[in-house]
């Protein structure tokens, strides 16, 4: 409102602009009034308007983000932890698949009954069965529990 009043006052008084390069008198346009008012006459008001515009964009983004959270029925904390949890689960699945492959390809070093047992290991501090079939079954159970 202040700007439009100033523009109308300048137009009524017959104010003209001079091109600084050609020294030619130019009829003022709306854009020329905007530049003159906000960059020369009322610089602080121009800065405040720019800050308000930027803050308006930030608030629109903030509102959009939180409306998206409401749509997905999540909290802010859950939205950040969801990706991290998914990556950890993906890593666990990769490890389990490697264990299954290793178990399937393992061959006993000899025909003796003692050599039919796999080397002892622990997964998440749980001792794994020493027999190949039992261990493979246990790994498959881990895989199914990760997929749920």
pLDDT number for residue 42:
78
Cα 60 from Cα 56, distance rounded (Å): 6
- The whole model's pTM is what? 0.48
pLDDT number for residue 1:
61
pLDDT number for residue 11:
67
For 104-127, b/e burial (b = at least 16 CB within 10 A) is: eeeeeeeeeeeeeebeeeeeeeee
Q: What is the largest CA-CA distance in the chain?
A: 111
Cα 117 from Cα 107, distance rounded (Å): 10
Binned average pLDDT, 10 residues per bin, the chain of 148 residues:
69 73 79 78 84 97 96 88 81 83 78 70 78 80 74
The domain limits of the chain are: 2-72, 81-147
């Amino acid at each position: 409102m202040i700007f439009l009043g100033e523009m109308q006052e300048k137009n009524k008084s017959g104010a003209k602009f001079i091109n600084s390069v050609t020294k030619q008198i130019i009829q003022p346009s709306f854009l020329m009034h905007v530049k003159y008012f906000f960059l020369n006459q009322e610089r602080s008001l121009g800065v405040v308007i720019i800050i308000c515009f930027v803050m308006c964009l930030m608030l629109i983004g903030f509102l959009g983000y939180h409306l998206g959270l409401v749509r997905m029925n999540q909290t802010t904390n859950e939205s950040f932890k969801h990706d991290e949890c998914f990556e950890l689960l993906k890593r666990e699945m990769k490890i389990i698949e490697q264990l299954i492959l290793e178990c399937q390809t393992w061959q006993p070093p000899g025909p003796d009954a003692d050599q039919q047992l796999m080397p002892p290991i622990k997964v998440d501090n749980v001792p794994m069965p020493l027999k190949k079939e039992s261990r493979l079954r246990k790994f498959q159970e881990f895989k199914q529990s990760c997929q749920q």
